[in-house]
Amino acid sequence: MKILFVMDPLGSINHETDSTLVIMKEAWRRGHEINFCTVEDLYIYKAIPYSLVKKAVFEEGEPLFCLREESEIALKEVDAIFMRKDPPFDMNYIFATYLLELASRDTFIINDPKGVRDANEKLYALNFPEAIPESLISKDSNRIKDFLDDVGGEMIIKPLAKCGGEGVFYIQKGDKNLSALLETSTSFGGEFIMAQRYLPEIKDGDKRIILLNGEAIGAVSRIPQDDEHRGNIHVGGAGWKCEITNRDKELCQMIAPRLRADGLWFVGLDVIGDWITEINVTSPTCLVEINKLNDLRLEEQIIDFVERKASSFYSRNN
């Protein structure tokens, strides 16, 4: 197969822990042709989506691929596309999903670009109100302060279009910085944010569950540092081995039909205690950590799935 990975520039990637590189390497190991591009390389000419790409080849023992010749290809020539661009989910990101949606008539894309566009990683969980902590979406500081009272004086606030714990704050009633934090987070009332009831179970870890086609295939518990409220590994959280509990399975079963309907095949579910806090659909991470802790190779299951989907996609369209 010819596979294209749409991803962030190489200079922004951690070559030791990046999940996209792990998936790419497994596909290359199986003999698939691997191509790489960034969102900036995509374009449409005469209603046909194209990209400037470079072929990627892995050398034995090296974590990062080498780039070969550069070429331009029509996306319909590709058998499968991985959309692995990290947020911020800005207008460039949105326009890229429109371009890829046009390509999805001829090529299997994981995740479906329309599904990604419709599934803001903070807001998508609101489709499952029984599975999430009390939440508020607003840009009104006074309303957010009232919410803080309603949930007992502790809350988390988050921007809607960022990832990796960026811009996430823990707030307590009586904090003298409360007004300033809300002004900053909402850009003085110009941007919506999410406020959620603080979950003290975060001290025991923020669990990342990887779902493939709606099924849980692995998990890691991300434990915050003592002086932190965020478990994200790249801000210092520690990855620990954990079980996928019966409650975790219930949550996965609850959201699986909607994920499949929206073409969100590869998803990272964030769970604190018994509650879903986010559903990550753009570029789920933690494959390396889960693999190391459990002696797994999740990338094998992912490429197996893509091979099947691309094959059936080709059969339906020819």
Q: How far apart are CA 270 and CA 206, in angstroms?
A: 7
Q: Which whole number is the average pLDDT over 297-314?
A: 95
- 82 and 142 assigned to the same domain: no
Catalytic residue among 280, 289, 291, 307: 280
Active site residue 208: yes
Q: How far apart are CA 138 and CA 314, in angstroms?
A: 44
Question: What is the rounded end-to-end Cα distance, in angstroms, of the chain?
Answer: 16
Element (H, E) at 192: none
Is a pLDDT exceeding 70 seen at residue 126?
A: yes
Catalytic residue among 25, 84, 85, 122: 122
Query: Is 124 inside a domain boundary?
Result: no
Q: Which whole number is the average pLDDT over 157-184?
A: 91
Q: What is the pLDDT of residues 202-244, one digit of tens each?
A: 988 899 999 999 999 999 999 877 656 554 555 556 789 999 9
Q: Assign residue 157 the CATH number of its domain.
A: 3.30.1490.20
Q: How far apart are CA 21 and CA 299, in angstroms?
A: 10
Active site residue 68: no
How many domains are there within the chain? Answer: 3
Report the predicted TM-score, pTM, of the whole model to 2 decimal places: 0.92
Is a pLDDT exceeding 80 seen at residue 107?
A: yes
Confidence of residue 318 (pLDDT cuts 50, 70, 90): low
Question: 184: domain range?
Answer: 134-198
Last residue of a domain, one of 198, 215, 250: 198
Active site residue 158: yes
Catalytic residue among 79, 278, 289, 307: 278
Catalytic residue among 197, 208, 248, 307: 208
Q: What is the pLDDT of residue 67?
A: 80
Q: What is the pLDDT of residues 29-54, one digit of tens each?
A: 999 999 999 999 999 999 999 999 99
CA angle 48, 50, 54 (to 5 degrees): 165
CA distances from 105 to 48, 113, 318 (A): 11, 11, 12
Residues 6 or more apart from 317 whose CB is under 8 A from it?
106
Query: Is 116 inside a domain boundary?
Result: no
Element (H, E) at 206: strand 206-212
Last residue of a domain, one of 180, 198, 216: 198
Active site residue 222: yes
Is a pLDDT exceeding 80 seen at residue 164?
A: no
> φ, ψ for residue 19 (rounded to 5)?
-70, -35
Active site residue 122: yes
Across the chain, mean pLDDT equals: 92
Catalytic residue among 85, 158, 197, 207: 158
Q: Assign residue 31 the CATH number of its domain.
A: 3.40.50.20
Catalytic residue among 222, 291, 299, 307: 222
Query: Is 248 inside a domain boundary?
Result: yes
Question: Which residue reads 């803001």 in tokens?
Answer: 120
Catalytic residue among 262, 270, 289, 299: 270
Catalytic residue among 120, 230, 262, 307: 230
Last residue of a domain, one of 198, 230, 250: 198
Q: What is the pLDDT of residue 287?
A: 98
Query: Is 9 inside a domain boundary?
Result: yes
Active site residue 177: no
Q: Which whole number is the average pLDDT over 97-114?
A: 97
Spatial strand order in the sheet of 193-197? 135-138, 193-197, 154-159, 169-172
Q: What is the pLDDT of residues 182-206, one digit of tens each?
A: 999 999 999 999 999 999 999 888 9
